[in-house]
Amino acid sequence: MGHQIALCASLSGYKVKCTDTNPDILAKAISFADNYLKERVIKGKLSEEAANQAYENIAFTSNIEDAAADADLVIEAIIEKLDIKRTLFADLDRICPAHTILTTNSSYIVSSRIADATNRPDKVCNMHFFNPALVMKLVEVVKSPHVSDETVEVLMNASRKMNKTPVLLHKEIYGFLVNRFLQATRQEALKLLDMGVASFEDIDIAVKNGLGYPMGPFQLIDLTGIDLAYHVGMEKYQESGDPADRPSPTIVEKYTKGEWGKKQVKDFIITIPKQILTKK
């Protein structure tokens, strides 16, 4: 999701640096940005001037110091593994100026489990976008106990300037808002599949045509990534110790085989200069 969040920001006038340690992933991000902007112009969805400005606003680098050293806002979108996030946030705390806000795009890991890896817990917050980030309007901002009112205000305003619709959670809760609803549907769908009650195709058809959902639970898992479903389930199971929290056998099998769905794993950090954040 990182490259799409980066483009959302650059299209809204922000100066953005997008970074990844994997050169192949970074090359794909550059190619995606170029193709996306060109296609939007061809389809008449974006003026050539706006596309050129968006491309001028975004830079790509494999060096995290270069990306974050002068950042005012960082959006992390790496793998859903707590230890890796904590290591990254400790590095960012060292690299970034003292005023920099550090956010995680995690869909399940709450910022209170990351904040103490830094010396700025009041500036560590969940800022959760939805996939695909260029299309989906919603952003969940979570007001954890350690997060300052000023941090929340900046993130809500930044979301609006990126043409998103932010919602504010006044306390931490596993899965936030939307994913709690989705999780209930997904868990039941996987249970029915694992029991052999129906095929995944028919379960999707039933949910779409019976409940009016725009896509079935398995279509959504395929889009967001089976690897994400696996890691989220394992993180929850390791935290709770409850066997019921373990990933579905179907998810484990697909993950082990490397069948992760349409989504490719992309790890990004986005940095947005303060003068852009505070522009009128």
Beta-ladder partners of 74: 102, 271
- Phi, psi (deg, nearest 5) at residue 196: 75, 20
pLDDT in tens, 257-280: 888 887 544 434 444 444 334 333
CA-CA-CA-CA dihedral for 142, 96, 21, 129, to nearest 10: 20
Q: For residue 265, what pLDDT is reported?
A: 42
Q: For residue 233, what pLDDT is reported?
A: 87
Among candidate residues 58, 49, 66, the one with its CA nearest the CA of residue 7: 58
pLDDT in tens, 21-49: 999 999 999 999 999 999 999 999 999 99
**184-192 average pLDDT score:** 93
Q: Which residues are catalytic?
A: 107, 128, 140, 179
**227-254 average pLDDT score:** 88
Tell me how far apart the alpha carbons of residues 99 and 109 are, in angstroms, rounded to a whole number.
23
**151-174 average pLDDT score:** 97
Q: For residue 29, what pLDDT is reported?
A: 95
CATH number attached to the domain at 2-171+266-277? 3.40.50.720
CATH superfamily of 178-257: N-(1-d-carboxylethyl)-l-norvaline Dehydrogenase; domain 2 (1.10.1040.10)
Region(s) of the chain under CATH 1.10.1040.10: 178-257
Q: Where are the alpha helices (DSSP H) in the chain?
A: 2-11, 23-42, 48-57, 64-68, 82-95, 149-161, 178-194, 200-211, 217-224, 226-240, 249-257, 274-277
Tell me how far apart the alpha carbons of residues 57 and 24 are, in angstroms, rounded to a whole number.
22
pLDDT in tens, 209-239: 999 999 999 999 988 889 988 988 898 888 8
Find the angle CA(199)-CA(204)-CA(207) to the nearest 5 degrees: 125
| pTM metric for this prediction | 0.80
CB 193 within 8 A of CB 155: no
Phi-psi region of 95 (alpha: psi -120 to 50; beta: other; left: phi over 0): alpha
Find the angle CA(222)-CA(225)-CA(226) to the nearest 5 degrees: 85
Least confident of 9-18, 39-48, 115-124, 213-222: 213-222
Task: Calculate what percentage of the chain has a pLDDT beyond 90.
Answer: 76
Q: Which two tokens stand for residue 231?
A: 């890691």
Region(s) of the chain under CATH 3.40.50.720: 2-171+266-277
